Every structure is written in structure tokens, then in C-alpha cells.
Amino acid sequence: MKPNYESPTIQKLNAGMMNKFGSRTEYTPVKFIDNVAIADLMDQYGSPLFVISERTIRQTYQKALKAFRMRYPKVQFAWSYKTNYLNAVCQVFHQEGSWAEVVSGFEYQKALRNGVPGNLIIFNGPDKSREDLIMAVENRSLIHIDHFDELFMLIEIMEEREDVKARVAIRVNMDTGVYPQWDRFGFNYENGQAWNAIVKIIAQEKLQLEGLHCHIGTYMLTANAYAVAARKMCELAFAYANTTGKHVKYLDMGGGFCSANTLKGSYLQGSDIIPTFDDYAEAITTTILQFGFRPDELPLLILETGRALIDEAGYLLGTVLATKRLADGRRATVLDIGINIMFTSFWYNHRVSPAQDFTQHVEETTLYGPLCMNIDAIRESVIMPILKKDDRVVVHEVGAYNMTQWMQFITMRPNVVMIDTKGEVHLIRKQETVNTIVDCEVVPEHLK
Amino acid sequence: MKVRKNIAISENGFIFNPLTGDSFSVNETGVFILQKLKEEETIEAILQSLMDEYELDTYTAEKDLNDFLSMLKSYQLITND
């Protein structure tokens, strides 16, 4: 039998010099996901292919839940639809006990269709139409008011309605000591807007303030920011109780927990620097528990964690289309995975592993996507084993945002499969076809 | 196309150029090609040897060999003589 072929490579050795790109990270090929052979998946469902591990979703969810439940008696997760709103994914979270957290009328409709009872849907986001608000009021959903225009529209809607109250919360933004401060969502705490909004709601007979919500940022590398946020939320809750004699039923701390992905520009690997679920839970629950609520008045703690619950469960499988040499002698590898389906490559250095055996030889390469666009690079520089045409690769931790922010640009979006906890593979989103796209188009008569 | 004089090539792929002081590492296929170049085989003969040695189609062999030779040239390890 002839030996396996590997493209010839030569690497200049620079003894003693710093390598700013770090050393290689891939030592073994990734040939299986949850014991299902990657080669079989790609043979059956094509390339590129998104793969979601149901087992990983459930394990991660349970880990997060445990971190909070062991510290605080009343915890509720609400699945952040925008992070991944494929119905199959949402249903796994709903089966685990998650409510739905939506940020648009579209997502709201999806949650309803997924069978989530209206009163277990949290409606966030700055864009709620009049129709959206009416629907949310009728379904007894929790409306998280983002701005005064929305508050006044809701007051106007409620004036026309009898025998029904809107269940609302306000979204609060605040200085938690991190940069950048997220102040575009909700009402500001420090300048008194949040309190003004609460006072306005108190004065409305048909608005029922049920909770307080904040979303302090995304990919929060310090758990302490949540402690600061929780303290300010508790301050507001106490002020509300002192004014009205009533207590808010819940504090919603939003999302923003990190996944183990590595941010671009980060010197260390993401997994080495991110806080754990326990760190976040400790910061939040300790603050609330020590604030002085009576045990029977402790608010329900709601979490809208998205990224940290789903990123690790998502894989993107792809194929090498070509290898070439750049003007400065560096290797370039062209994959069929582009930024159109991997939006997160704009801010993460995703881990990429070969899916077949390789030798110990490595080379620095740029990983390009298939788009006819210069910015279509998913890794500007990475030390990879030698790849050749038709080799397969696995991109890790792509479960969050890629299957919602993906673009239909130049090509169509690929199949998405889910491997269930028994190892069965299910197609959960079909590959788009030309018809998927052109069926929405209308050509005027005179142009036909 | 020849390997420059004095270039030392070890069996396990370590290359040393005493003129410049540069050292390099090549993989198994790279060593195979360099040995053929040292034996002053023609490009066509090296191509054929590659295909005899490995499970390989002509296009990949030609593409990879050209790429490798251009890298050897850029590192001044071979000459056109």
C-alpha cells in the first residue's frame, strides 16, 4: 500500500524568536461529534453543514441551572430566541424548562408556534409595534418596556381596553464599571429615568409592574459587573416597595455570559479567562440574598442566557476548496465556509480542527471563505496541519448567533442537523434552494 | 533545477544553509522531493516519482510541486542551473 500523501511544506525555523500567533492548537483530528462520524454526516447532508448536539445543550443548561439553583431558591431561565431560534433548538430549551425571551414580533410568533404559553414569554427589544403590544397584552406576556414612546403607546392601548391589565417590567441600563457601558436599551438608572418610568407605571391602573430587567452587555469578562447590576436592581425594587407597599415579582438579569470562544485580539484563549457559571451565579445571588429581602419576598431570578448555553453545542463542518500561496509566501486555504454563514468570525478566532488524520507538520495559513469578497476570511492567521483540496474541517462553538445572523449572500444557507441524545441524526433546517430566494421576488410586467 | 552547494539535508527533514545560517524543517514529501533534486532529476521525473510513491493525481502533484519549488527558490535553497 502506498503511504498517505501530504502536500510538501517547508518551514523556516526561527530559534529563539517570539511567535505572536502562538503555537499549534490541533493535535488530533476531530472525526466524531457525539459518536457520529463526521464523514458520514457530510456524505449524507453535504458541505458546509451545521451540526447541533442536543446532549451538549442539555448538559450545559443543567450546569448553568445547577450553579444558580444551589445558591438561590427561585431561578428561571428564558431562552434567548435571537441567539438561535431554530425550532428544534428552542424546543430542547423549553423541554428543559426555559421560558421564551423574544425581541421582535417575528420571534414572538415563533415562540407561540413552539407552544410556549403567552404568560411565559418575555417580550424585550426596542421595536414592538402596536399590534405586537396588543398581542402581548392579550396573551398575558411580560412586556419589558424599552423607552417612553413604548410606554405611552402601551398606556394608549390600555385606555381602550376593559378588564385586562398589562404585565410589564422596565428595562434598566446602568454603569456597572465596564466599558463600553450599554445605555441604549431601556431607561438609565443613574440619571433617574428608570425611576421616572416606574413612577409613571405606578400611576397607571392598567399597568402592573411585575419585574425589573437589565441587560448590561455581552461577553462580560467580569462577573463583578453583575454584582453591581444586581445591587442597583435591588435598590430600585426596594424603592418601589417603599413607595407602593408592593414587591416586584422578579429581577431579570438578562444575558451576556461568555462562551469559551476566543475574542479577536485576546492574548489568552477564551476558555482560560472567562468566568464560569458559578462565578456569575455567586456574584448575582450573593448580592440579592444579602440585600435584605425577607425570605418570602425574595424575587424570582430570571436569566436570559443565550450564547453561553448554545455556543458549545454548535459545529460547522466544511471542506477545503483550494490551497494557494499569497504574495508574501504565506499559505492561504479556501474553505466552503464563509462569513455569510459564520458571522461570529468577525469577533471570534474560532477553533478550527481537521477532520482527518494529519502529520506533525504545520504551517501558518489564512482561512478564507468561498465568497468573492476580500473580507471573507474566517481566520486571518492560524497554525494548521497541512490541508489539501477536499480535506474536511470542523469549526467549533458556532451555536450562538450564526444560525440567526447568517446572510443569504451569493450562495444559499446549508442544512442544519441535530444529533439527539441517543445518537440519531435529524435534519432540523433544510438547505435553501434557488426557489427559497426567488419565490419572494416579483418582476414587474414590463421587465419580463 | 539543482539544490545549492553545501545545503545540508537530513533524513528527517532538517535543512541547514551554511551560507546564510538559516535552518528549515520540511515534511516527508518535502524530503522526498529534495532528495530527487539532489540527484539532479528533472521536474518531469520528480513528478512521476511522486505519483509512483504516493496515491496522487497529476494535477495535485504538479500544483504542489510547483508551489514547493517556488518556496525553495524564495529561500534560496535551489538554483535554476
State which residue of chain B sits closest to A389, comparing Cα positions: B60
Contacts of residue A359 in chain B, CB cutoff 8 Å? 27-28
Contact A2 B53 (CB under 8 A): yes
CB-CB neighbors (< 8 A) of B29 in chain A: 5-9
**B6 in reach of chain A (CB within 8 A):** no
Least confident of A60-64, A97-101, B77-81: B77-81
Q: Measured at the alpha carbon of residue A141, what is the angle toward residues A161 and A62, in degrees to the nearest 5?
A: 175
3-state secondary structure string across A370-407: CCCCCCCEEEEEEEEECCCCCCEEEECCCCCCHHHHCC
Q: How close B48 comes to chain A (CA, Å)?
A: 14
Closest CA to A425 of A31, A30, A37, A29: A37
Would you place residue A180 in the very low, low, confident or very high pLDDT band (cuts 50, 70, 90)?
Answer: confident
Q: Please determine, for residue A16, whether its predicted confidence score (pLDDT) is greater than 80.
A: no
Question: Tens of pLDDT along A81-92?
Answer: 999 999 999 999
Whether the predicted pLDDT of A23 surpasses 70: no
Check B60 against A8: CB less than 8 A apart: no
Classify burial at A263, counting beta carbons within 10 Å of its beta carbon; exposed 0-12, middle 13-18, buried 19 or more.
middle
pLDDT score recorded for residue A363: 87
Spatial distance between the Cα atoms of A278 and A223, rounded to a whole number of angstroms: 10
- Examine the predicted complex and report whether its ipTM is higher than 0.90: yes
Q: What's the pLDDT score for residue A360?
A: 84
Residue of B nearest to A15 (CA): B23
Residues of chain A in contact with residue B60, where contact means CB-CB under 8 angstroms, are: 7, 388-389
Report, as an integer, the average pLDDT of A337-348. Answer: 94
pLDDT of residue A17: 57
CATH of the domain at B30: 1.10.10
Span A112-142, pLDDT tens digits:
999 999 999 999 999 999 999 999 999 999 9
| pLDDT tens digits, one per residue of A273-312 | 899 999 999 999 999 999 999 999 999 999 999 999 999 9
Q: Which pLDDT tens digit goes with each residue over A203-260?
A: 999 999 999 999 998 888 899 999 999 999 999 999 999 999 999 999 999 999 999 8
Q: Which of B57, B64, B69 to mutate to test the interface with A (most CBs of A within 10 A)?
A: B64
Contact call for residues A75 and A303 (beta carbons, < 8 A): yes
Binned at pLDDT 50, 70 and 90, residue A184 comes out as confident
Which residues on A lie below 8 Å from B32 (Cβ)? Answer: 8
For residue A8, which residues of chain B lie inside 8 Å, CB to CB?
26-27, 29-30, 32-33, 64-65, 67-68
Closest CA to A78 of A142, A117, A121: A121
The answer for residues whose C-beta is within 8 angstroms of residue A298's C-beta and 6 or more apart is A72, A73, A74, A288, A289
Q: What is the pLDDT of residue A140?
A: 97
Cβ proximity of A225 and A216 under 8 Å: yes
Q: How confident is the model at residue A24 (pLDDT cuts 50, 70, 90)?
A: low
Q: pLDDT value at position A329?
A: 84
Interface touch B23/A15, C-beta < 8 Å: yes
Task: Select the CATH number that applies to the domain covering A54-311 from these four: 3.40.50.920, 3.10.129.10, 3.20.20.10, 1.10.10.60.
Answer: 3.20.20.10
Q: Where in chain A is the domain with CATH 3.20.20.10?
A: 54-311
CB contact under 8 A, B71 and A325: yes
Q: pTM for this one? A: 0.91
Tell if the CB–CB gap between B74 and A329 is shorter than 8 Å.
yes
**Residues in a beta bridge with A292:** none
Interface with chain A: mutation pick from B3, B14, B27, B72, highest number of A CBs within 10 Å: B27
Closest Cα in chain A, distance from residue B49 (Å): 12
CATH 2.40.37.10 intervals, chain A: 32-52+312-434
CATH superfamily of A32-52+312-434: Lyase, Ornithine Decarboxylase; Chain A, domain 1 (2.40.37.10)
* pLDDT band (50, 70, 90) for residue A152: very high
- Nearest Cβ partner of A5 from B54, B68, B75? B54
N-terminal to C-terminal alpha carbon distance within chain B: 6
Element at A259 (helix H, strand E): none
Average pLDDT, chain A: 94
Q: Kindly report the CA angle at A281 between A279 and A284, in degrees rounded to 5?
A: 110
Q: Which domain holds residue B53?
A: 2-79
Q: How many domains does chain B have?
A: 1
Spatial distance between the Cα atoms of A46 and A414, rounded to a whole number of angstroms: 8
- What is the rounded average pLDDT of the residues A19-36? 79
Q: Bigger pLDDT: A89 or B1?
A: A89
pLDDT band at A183 (very low <50, low <70, confident <90, very high): confident
Would you call B20 an interface residue with chain A, using a CB distance cutoff of 8 Å?
A: no
Q: What whole-number distance in Å separates Cα of residue A227 and Cα of residue A196?
A: 23
pLDDT exceeds 90 at position A361: no
Rounded to an integer, the average pLDDT of A172-187 is 88
Query: Which amino acid, A372?
Result: C
Percent share of chain A, pLDDT over 70: 98
CA–CA dist A232, B75 (Å, integer)? 62
Give the Cα separation of A288 and A283 in Å (integer). 9
What is the mean pLDDT of the segment spanning B41-50? Answer: 94
Which residues lie below 8 Å from residue A66, measured CB to CB, with a gap of 6+? none
Which residue on chain A is closest to B28 by alpha carbon?
A8
Least Cα distance to A179 among A146, A215, A216 occurs for A216
From the list B24, B26, B74, the residue facing A8 with the nearest CB is B26
| Of A55-59, A326-330, B8-12, minimum mean pLDDT range | A326-330
Average pLDDT of chain B to the nearest whole number: 92
Looking at residue A82, its pLDDT comes to 97
Question: Which of A82-91, A185-194, A367-376, B71-80 is the most confident on average?
Answer: A82-91
